[in-house]
Amino acid sequence: MKLLIDVGNTRLKWATVTAGPLSAGRPVALDAPTLADALGEAFAALAGRIDGVFVSSVVSDARETELRTLLEAALPGVPVSFVRSPAHALGVRNAYAEPQRLGVDRFLALAALHAQPRAQVLVSVGTALTLDALAADGRHLGGLIAASPTLTRGALAAATARLLPPSREVRLLADSTADAVQSGAVLAAVALTERFRSGAAGPLGAWPALVLAGGGADELAPWLPDAERIDDLVLRGLARWASG
């Protein structure tokens, strides 16, 4: 059995896999006061059943070293592998001239999507908003990184005096500051998504399918009615990597 771990900016998601579908566990907050205890508790039932750990990480080198130590303590004797973005793997060709510079979470999500080959655009909404274009033949054409709605709202709150907290209402013509902040943050991401998709259609050779992923995807979904929502793409990509 393989243990798959997706380490984002705020939490650690994990799942196990054998030959069938993923079996997801409860995410662990990275700011937990006793992260070692949290990981030990999360993986206690897996002792003796795991023969390999595969990790996708976007955190710093120092944090990765800490996580490796904690994982090795929680699962003694089990090899731990931190995956890096390659130039080409799992049918996906990395667009970056320096392949390792592409976030491994982005590469693995694209690898999971390529299990269903087609022209497609992936929009992942987490701390950052990332957009990537993937051709039917597996060519990654590149993408964009921008602030997510959550990050946009936080930046406005930090840099602006007397700004009221955002509401939960998204309106094209907002009539209150709270609604205007919420609406501007969400609709900016929607507009960028629409522009990226239309601009990618020519190079992709077809109108691309649109896929939303990430914890913040629900905010964009009502404004992108033909988008598909697919969860756990990074973990699915890790499963392909681990079986490859």
Tell me, yes or no, if 105 is annotated catalytic.
yes
Six-digit token string for 145:
């990184």
The neighbouring-strand residues paired with 133 are 121, 142
CA atoms within 13 A on the CB side of 167: 12
Considering 105, 132, 179, 232, which one is annotated as catalytic?
105
Other Cβ atoms less than 10 A from the Cβ of 231: the count is: 14
The end-to-end CA distance of the chain, in Å, is 14
SS3 sequence, the chain?
A: CEEEEEECCCEEEEEEECCCCCEECCCEECCCCCHHHHHHHHHHHHCCCCCEEEEEECCCHHHHHHHHHHHHHHCCCCCEEECCCCCEECCEECCCCCHHHCCHHHHHHHHHHCCCCCCEEEEEECCEEEEEEECCCCEEEEEEEEECHHHHHHHHHHHCCCCCCCCCCCCCCCCCHHHHHHHHHHHHHHHHHHHHHHHHHHHHCCCCEEEEECCCHHHHHHHCCCCEECCCHHHHHHHHHHHC
Catalogue the active-site residues. Answer: 105
